[in-house]
Amino acid sequence: MPLHHARPATSRTGRKTAGKAPAKASASKTAASGSSFPPEFLLTTDLPRDHFPAAGGSPHAIHQAIAEELLLDGNSKQNLATFCQTWEAPEVHALMDLAIDKNLIDKDEYPQTAEIENRCVSMLADLWHAPGAAMGCSTVGSSEAAMLGGMAAKWRWREKRRAEGKPTDKPNMICGAVQICWHKFAKYWDIEIREVGMRPGRMCLDAEDVLDRVDENTIFVVPTMGVTYHGLYEDVEGIAKALDDLEQRTGLDVPIHVDAASGGFLAPFTAPDHAPWDFRLPRVKSINASGHKFGLAPLGVGWVLWREPADLPDDLVFHVSYLGGDMPTFQINFSRPAGQVVSQYYDFVRLGREGYAAIHGQSHEVALHCAAELARHDCFEIVHDGDPQRGIPAVVWTLADRANPGFTLYDIADRLRMRGWQVPAYPFTGDLGETAFQRILVRRDFNREMADLLLRDIHAAVEHFTAHPAPVQEGRKPGYSHT
């Protein structure tokens, strides 16, 4: 039944709360009029905003009011900026309910949940070709997982330097264009970050970039399987070979941590013949991935694995006993719900390799279709078309050189927002920091039908600006941030 809103008679001060005298008066009036409408469904005051209410109110009315506020966020299915999943099966919702009161960190209290987490780690070790008994754990997301991999690398480097009697005060890391979590890691743990910006024709970190910057203080190199900005896979194998050669020539042994936030749950299924990027390369010591992105799990789960137990310094591991056994734990976050990990296990078992390949394969097909349609506009230049051998299922484009179509990509993004679409326009990094790009992120619930609807709106936006050129806005900055 629709909610009936009644404003209080007095002026709005923000101090009225549900359950006070006005609500009782309204209820009495309703009863006196002979209405059978239940008063507990009425919301007769504003929701509190800046103070803690003195009394509660109707659970039905408050729930509906908050639910209606959330409608202002927009339709998540039209959010093509986010990598995170926006649809989950009913069975996943049911499992989340079952685990809502389970604290994942309490291994001794919830041993079966801990066992499920261990199963997921073992499955990922198999997926990423670990040579033996890999170590790993779940995290709140891929950002925490990345930081754990970074901490282990710093500890290993520091212990080795101390053993050699060398200073440990100037650690550095080498990476390409990375998301904010690596900048946070570098700042929190006092690491110099040697980030390689993008250049025309060279948008990814490569072996030459690494060799130009590596030294005895480099704790690790971080190539990315699916760069956040443009979705392309960086050349992990090429970087590993260059570092192998460096070690043979100089004795300098620099490990690799692969940021596979997206690609870790894509390449094994949609590009199984891709050049090795995982633990098949001995120099790869750790990998992080995001379960709630292309792992298809609900929001709030990531994974980090180490090649073997020796790659995770024991000084960073806390040991918890349960059922007479030992459960090593290594996470920054402590209390957190278990539902996401349980749901991740459900996805692994429910879908298997075949299911993941089918779902992600369809996403790549939709991306390729979108890229082909966008390429029909001479003003657009496709940077990544969603080819599974080159990167994730995303479409990234810019305005072609010397194109002057009468609009910017920021104008297109604004026009699409009028139709509910969130298709971000943003600058890249380095020498491309002044050039705008635009991206469509294709997830499991963005099917061909939705893609065609979006494409029609993009075509309509181009036609609109062709007829009505947008005014030039110098120095305009995007409202989208990579996080």
**Length of the chain measured in residues:** 483
| Same domain assignment for residues 124 and 158 | yes
Is residue 78 included in any domain, yes or no?
no
> Are 29 and 159 members of one domain?
no
CATH of the domain at 186: 3.40.640.10
Q: Determine the average pLDDT of the residues in 399-414.
A: 92
Residue 375, strand partner residues: none
Instruction: Say if 443 falls within a structural domain.
Output: yes
CATH code at position 428: 3.90.1150.160
Residue 16 confidence (pLDDT) above 70: no
Token representation of residue 23? 């609500």
pLDDT given for residue 27 in this prediction: 44
pLDDT value at residue 14: 43
Domain contains 479: no
pLDDT at 270 over 60: yes
Q: What does the pLDDT average to over 366-385?
A: 97
What share of the chain has pLDDT > 70, as a percent?
A: 87
Instruction: Output the pLDDT for position 26.
Output: 44
Taking the C-alpha atoms of residue 345 and residue 43, their distance in angstroms, rounded to an integer, is: 41
Examine the domain organization and report whether 107 and 25 are in the same domain: no
Q: Tell me which of 286, 317, 347 is where a domain ends.
A: 347
Residue whose pair of structure tokens reads 């082909």 in the numeric block: 372
Rounded mean pLDDT of 292-301?
96
Using alpha carbons, select from 483, 467, 465, 468 the residue that is nearest to residue 410. 465
Q: Which of 264, 262, 281, 253 is nearest to 153 (CA)?
A: 253
100 in Cβ contact with 339 (< 8 Å): yes
Asked, for residue 11, whether it belongs to a domain, the answer is no
Task: Show which of 299, 319, 347 is a domain's final residue.
Answer: 347
Average pLDDT value for the chain:
89
Q: Which of 266, 202, 213, 210 is nearest to 237 (CA)?
A: 210
Same domain, 62 and 117: no
User: Residue 287's Cα: distance from chain center in Å?
Assistant: 15
Q: Which domain holds residue 418?
A: 361-467
Is 258 within 8 Å of 287 (Cβ atoms)? Answer: yes
- Kindly report, residue by residue over 32-68, the tens digit of the pLDDT: 445 566 666 677 778 999 999 988 888 888 999 999 9
Q: Convert the pLDDT of each residue in 175-192 to its tens digit.
A: 999 989 999 999 999 999
Q: Would 446 be classed as within a structural domain? A: yes
Measured between alpha carbons, how far is 331 from 326 in angstroms, rounded to an integer? 16
Number of C-beta neighbours around residue 326 at 10 A: 9
* Whether residue 322 is found in the same domain as residue 367: no
Least confident range of 364-368, 434-438, 475-479: 475-479
- pLDDT per residue over 309-353, tens digit each? 999 998 898 876 655 566 677 877 778 889 999 999 999 999 999
Is 263 a member of any domain? yes
Evaluate if residue 156 carries a pLDDT over 80.
Answer: yes
322 domain-assigned: yes
Q: Are 256 and 239 in contact (CB under 8 A)?
A: yes
Within a domain: 79? no
Structure tokens at 431: 């020498």
